Amino acid sequence: MAADQSDSYWIPRNFLALDPQQARLESSSAVLVPVPYDSSTSFRGGARDGPNAIIDASYGLEDYDLELDLDVSRLGIHTTSAVEPHMGGPEAMAQRVRRAVAGYIREDRVVGVLGGEHSVSAGAVMAHGDTYPDLSVLYIDAHADMRDSYMGTSWGHASGARRIREVCSVVLVGVRSLCLEERDFLRESSLPVFFWPPVEEGAELLGRITAELSDTVYVSIDLDALDPSCMAAVGTPEPGGMNWGQMIMLLKGVADSKRIVGFDVCELAPGEGPMACSYTAAKLVYKLVGYATARFTRGMA
């Protein structure tokens, strides 16, 4: 926040509490769309509180990114108003998210969704798929989300990746919990799945993952991909997940060889874990903004 010369007393209500000049839509390289929705979660709810918790925690982040040696916020980050939940169910909500996100997609911009339960990703992916025919989705989640339907809906959080796969190709990473229907579906479809813990590590794993992705990538993150030791505040904290370093290595590695045009960070249920989880989620959002917008800064000091 650059408030030294300003007489304003108000904390700007946007990601990082940026000065309004830095958060102007027209000049921003990234747009964040909060989607406080959790109607279809089956175990523990609370993801509707995720976007506000991420924005609150973002006030504590440093604008300067040590790893990228860049103040990423100078590229401009606009935070939109929250998308109002649609009580017609997750399909209606996905369509609403699709329209809301579509309005912000531009070639020289990255659009990120702050979830919300993971079912909101389908709408954001559909919006990006309309603009980028070459889109593929890196779907990072402890679960496959490949049920054709669950608890009376085909568009709930347990079916997100299945619906996305009908729009574009999907690569699953981090999976360590499945139902039998999903196991059979994955075998029949020979869809690329990288279970966790992975067989290979480091550059070898990264190479195999990037080989499955197209050049234009949307990154969809369910925070339960992370291990509960660093991310307890999710609806389904599944043991044996990634640590922070593995997540970052994956995202940076993908950004180095692909063009990340959009992303979402979903399923933060802040009431289910320590405040560190909200901070971790906010940092992950900022890292994604940094990696995805780095392509706009090539040639910049």
Binding site for Mn ion (CB under 5 A): 141-143, 222, 224
Residue 60 C-beta: closest distance to Mn ion, Å: 26
Residue 143 C-beta: closest distance to Mn ion, Å: 4
Single out the residue of 68, 56, 75 nearest to residue 17, CA to CA: 56
**Residue recorded with tokens 């692909």:** 258
Single out the residue of 35, 163, 195, 29 nearest to residue 107, CA to CA: 29
- Which of 143, 162 has the CB closer to Mn ion? 143
**DSSP letters of 28-68?**
-SEEEEEE---SS-SS---GGGHHHHHHHHHTTS-SEETTT
Question: What whole-number distance in Å separates Cα of residue 204 and Cα of residue 192?
Answer: 15
Question: What whole-number distance in Å separates Cα of residue 285 and Cα of residue 273?
Answer: 18
**Residue recorded with tokens 């919006």:** 127
- Which of 11, 151 has the CB closer to Mn ion? 151
Contact between 114 and 55 under an 8 Å Cβ cutoff? The reply is yes
Residue 41 C-beta: closest distance to Mn ion, Å: 10
Question: What whole-number distance in Å separates Cα of residue 32 and Cα of residue 114?
Answer: 7
Angle at 163 between CA 141 and CA 85, to 5 degrees: 80
- Which of 50, 290 has the CB closer to Mn ion? 50
Question: What whole-number distance in Å separates Cα of residue 13 and Cα of residue 271?
Answer: 21
Residue 3 C-beta: closest distance to Mn ion, Å: 39
**DSSP letters of 182-209?**
HHHHHHHHT--EEESS-SS-HHHHHHHH
- Which of 38, 141 has the CB closer to Mn ion? 141
- Which of 49, 141 has the CB closer to Mn ion? 141
Residue 237 C-beta: closest distance to Mn ion, Å: 10
Residue 157 C-beta: closest distance to Mn ion, Å: 7
- Which of 118, 283 has the CB closer to Mn ion? 118
Residue 204 C-beta: closest distance to Mn ion, Å: 25
What is the C-alpha end-to-end distance of the chain, expressed in Å? 21
Residue 205 in tokens: 């794993």
- Which of 65, 141 has the CB closer to Mn ion? 141
- Which of 142, 255 has the CB closer to Mn ion? 142
Contact between 213 and 171 under an 8 Å Cβ cutoff? The reply is yes
Q: Is 56 exposed, middle or buried (0-12, 13-18, 19+ CB in 10 A)?
A: middle
Contact between 108 and 27 under an 8 Å Cβ cutoff? The reply is no
Residue 91 C-beta: closest distance to Mn ion, Å: 19
